[in-house]
Amino acid sequence: QKEVEQDPGPLSVPEGAIVSLNCTYSNSAFQYFMWYRQYSRKGPELLMYTYSSGNKEDGRFTAQVDKSSKYISLFIRDSQPSDSATYLCAMKGNFGNEKLTFGTGTRLTIIP
């Protein structure tokens, strides 16, 4: 079993739709949860960073963490064609678990 599982997609939705991207994990030591966005032929860039359970909102993006279920989500409201990219979840812990563990990424296309 992989430490982090992420549906690779691809996922295609019409412009304006709400998008839900998800990851599950098995390592209970993970405390910090990130979403990176990667455009085609580019390096990943940090989109959202959350600590422990709860929600964090930034504009059209909401990151949600449920540590009891070992499940994290990224919601994109009013999706735009510029949101078309691969979204990678990443997570890490403390005290010897600081290295990032990445999901495989979900490829998202927003259709105008």
Where along the sequence are the contacts to other proteins (CB under 8 A)? 4, 6, 8, 32, 34, 41-46, 49, 88, 90, 92, 94, 98-100, 102-105
Rounded distance between C-alpha atoms, residue 40 and residue 62, angstroms: 23
In whole angstroms, the minimum distance from the beta carbon of 14 to other proteins comes to 27
Choose between 17 and 97: whose C-beta lies nearer to other proteins.
Answer: 97
Rounded distance between C-alpha atoms, residue 19 and residue 112, angstroms: 14
DSSP class of residue 83 equals: G
Residue carrying the six token digits 């690779």: 8
In whole angstroms, the minimum distance from the beta carbon of 43 to other proteins comes to 3
Choose between 62 and 86: whose C-beta lies nearer to other proteins.
Answer: 86
Choose between 14 and 41: whose C-beta lies nearer to other proteins.
Answer: 41
Nearest CA-CA partner of 19 in 89, 80, 67, 72: 80
